[in-house]
């Protein structure tokens, strides 16, 4: 078993996926390799940081104890029994943004309530010019954004597209092959933000902000019964004031069936990058 004493390197994937996963010396990362021999690739040949020169990470790896504190103390959740170790089977999702002084492409890691990595979210399709626009202006909030949701092995499980917008937003939720699952449609532009979860032209649920700043959300089903809750957790004043990172804890109250399950997970994973309303946000 790999521990914090092991040097950075490629090791058998702890999640049971074929091939190897990169251990950075303190945690498992999202990087995988098709090789089969642990340690066969020297650490210096590990995955390269693909961050733009403008994107400056200022924090190290996530710690399991810190995530448990985030869930239990800051969000007031759990411990919650059950869970199957995937994005679609865990009762609690911890969505933590990669900390950067300047954000040019949204990146999130997703953990279970015990700090085990179970997925990630990455913004895709951004050109160098688009990143310059994002760095220099706030016009980026009006342009199209595409997010790829990946499982613990790095394989796409969902595609989320927020088309260019002027006032109200909507998010297209699709399977990896591009076939559409549904839409998340903004209902109002003033006051507490409210989104409808739409599938085949009918509303199956909603996302309701609990205050005008849109920090915490309730997700309901078609009967207006709350089925999940999204709670923003703060990581300290310095982090809040001087970085772009946002962290959320998502509690799904009971097992859900598709299409509501997929729409709830999509809502949870896009609430910051695609739904939040602020001067630099995407909502």
Residues facing residue 221 across a β-bridge: 205
Reported as a single tens digit per residue, the pLDDT across 145-155 is 888 999 999 99
pLDDT number for residue 129: 56
Residue 24 CA: distances (Å) to CA of 48, 58, 100, 130, 153: 11, 16, 19, 30, 16
Q: What is the CB neighbour count within 10 angstroms for residue 166?
A: 7
Q: Which of 189, 163, 158 is nearest to 269 (CA)?
A: 158
- E-assigned strand segments in 135-216: 145-151, 156-162, 170-174, 180-186, 194-199, 202-209
DSSP state of 74: I
CATH class of 64-275: mainly beta
Q: What is the CB neighbour count within 10 angstroms for residue 107?
A: 23
Q: CA 41 to CA 25: how far, in whole Å?
A: 15
Identify whether 53 is preceded by a cis peptide bond (ω within 30 of 0): no
Q: Where are the domains of the chain?
A: 9-45, 64-275
Query: Is this prediction's pTM over 0.85?
Result: no
Please report which helix (H) or strand (E) contains residue 278, including its range. Answer: none
Four-CA torsion 167, 172, 173, 175, nearest 10 degrees: -160
Given a cut of 50, the residues of the chain with pLDDT beneath it are 38-44, 49-62, 100-104, 135, 139, 236-245, 276-283
Q: CA 5 to CA 1: how far, in whole Å?
A: 11
Q: Which of 210, 207, 212, 229 is nearest to 275 (CA)?
A: 207
| DSSP H helical ranges for 79-142 | 128-136
- 20-23 β-sheet, strand order: 9-12, 20-23, 28-33
Do 75 and 231 contact (CB within 8 A), yes or no? yes
Burial class (CB in 10 A: 0-12, 13-18, 19+), 242: exposed
Q: CA 162 to CA 183: how far, in whole Å?
A: 10
CA angle 14, 18, 19 (to 5 degrees): 85
């Amino acid at each position: 078993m790999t521990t914090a004493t092991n040097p950075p390197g490629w090791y058998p994937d702890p999640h049971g996926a074929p091939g190897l996963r990169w251990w950075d010396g303190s945690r498992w990362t999202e990087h995988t390799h098709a090789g089969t021999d642990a340690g066969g690739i020297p650490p210096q040949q590990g995955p390269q940081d693909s961050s733009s020169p403008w994107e400056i990470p200022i924090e190290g790896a996530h710690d399991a104890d810190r995530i448990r504190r985030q869930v239990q103390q800051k969000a007031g959740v759990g411990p919650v029994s059950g869970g199957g170790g995937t994005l679609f089977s865990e009762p609690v999702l911890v969505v933590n943004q990669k900390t950067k002084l300047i954000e040019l492409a949204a990146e999130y890691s997703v953990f279970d309530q015990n700090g085990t990595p179970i997925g990630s979210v990455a913004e895709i399709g951004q050109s160098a010019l688009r990143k310059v626009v994002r760095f220099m202006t706030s016009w980026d909030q009006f342009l199209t954004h595409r997010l790829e949701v990946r499982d613990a092995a790095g394989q796409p499980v969902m595609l989320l597209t927020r088309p260019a917008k002027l006032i109200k937003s909507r998010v297209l939720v699709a399977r990896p092959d591009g076939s559409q699952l549904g839409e998340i449609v903004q209902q109002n532009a003033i006051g507490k933000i409210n989104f409808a979860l739409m599938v085949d032209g009918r509303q199956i649920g909603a996302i309701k902000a609990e205050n005008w700043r849109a920090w915490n959300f309730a997700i309901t089903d078609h009967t207006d019964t709350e089925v999940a809750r999204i709670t923003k957790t703060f990581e300290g004043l310095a982090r809040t004031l001087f970085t772009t990172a946002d962290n959320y804890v998502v509690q799904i109250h009971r097992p859900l069936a598709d299409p509501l399950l997929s729409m709830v997970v999509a809502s949870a994973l896009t609430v910051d990058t695609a739904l939040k309303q602020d001067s630099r946000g995407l909502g």
